[in-house]
A and B are shown apart, each in its own frame.
Chain A
């Protein structure tokens, strides 16, 4: 293994310098076209060694693992717009997605080649970056980043971005929850069922949609219940006060508790298992990714799906869903009642804002002009002008302003698919969605009004020596085991005991309570 790691280091050190457009080379190439750069807030004094031909353009490399295709550099109007506005040459590189992204990025970083700004693959890796001194704490620059801070919601909204006392994440505006359950209404009519409102009804509906051949092709090839990963079972568990995750919530007395400790958690797991045992659950449910689920929905294999409005009701996606069966009618429905007295709800919203995705390389602080470029960039994308650019594209081409409102053009639908990658501090989501997806307006409102759990874990910083990701992995494995029957649910209390002895779950909860009390979230 050691040999493997060292080899990886050698390899990436070698590749890194070839793959990445050298900053000097890039700026020299592009400065010719940027004499329109009349922004005079920049007193950038190019220092010796920094080869900026015209003395104006600093290059920044941004790296992320999002699954989008970017236009070519010359046609990338966002990067051009940023350069024209603030004189910073931004280059976004996408290196793999999912676990591949973590592999590629970490290999590069281990080779000493750290991108200027990048998305941390996971909380645990970011913690490693922090311990290794690879990422920059933005604490010292908060006064310079005031526009960004104000935009995301002030000092309080910065809390989820702290690790060991430093703000290592670029803060972002809070993201709402898009999730919702949907069902094939036309199939319900065919098998003579109603939209379910309780768990028992949902189970019956799922059985009918599985075994009564709703697509009428004579073969039993449909599944009543599917979703994207284990998370789909939260449609059931959340209404029992539980969750497949360790969500920190307040109980009815306002006391902090974990969804794992919910009094009806076991009953919720039993209900999940009844779905599985009835044979109505898509067997690939845990492995499904966004596209896999949508494909199955389009191929008429799924009756009820736990998904997001954004995967169903956007016009382009709805067209895909109707490609095979134009009569398919997907309708959303409210969270289900469990009959245990717990509030019917689905999914969580964060009480304390969202964690930022992006972080800044520590090396940036060593070069004053790079640091200034990063600060300019972050303030720009949250300024009125910059936010419009990264949200809607170019005025006159992708949108027009009519009576103070933004109206999209046809080109927005075809040319602006990749913009969200540049929304490093997120966006004004309500306005954004209304402009971009007027066709989904009703579903967006429904998703906004859906009953959610309020989760507090974002405000909690894991105590020293607590391996949050290890514990979460262990929780996930066991949830799968309980739901799919490989571990009897009667061992649930034993499982909680294991969390204590192996990971120090109780200490974590104690620390969480202290922290939330300190911040005034609980009495």
Chain B
């Protein structure tokens, strides 16, 4: 089960996250699994793989927004980097960044036993 301590240990900025949730720990913690919902990540990866940079940007942007709100810094950072590259329609190999995002997601799932 995800806890504040686990999130801290993971590298999340729980102070910020909690502030946005009016210091309601349960509420904050309840939102975490939604941010890890596999579908959003799959959508991003599929778009990137297909070279559909517009859809990829939309998906990355949406994901980044949620991760930012919950202050899940370790996933947020690569997601943000990817969003900016996609915004500029940068033609590059997105696979390493995508992998980083998957890895960080998985790390939190493992730590929290989700």
Our verdict on whether A and B bind, yes or no, reads: no
* Interface residues in chain B, defined as those with a beta carbon under 8 Å from any beta carbon in chain A: none
* Interface residues in chain A, defined as those with a beta carbon under 8 Å from any beta carbon in chain B: none
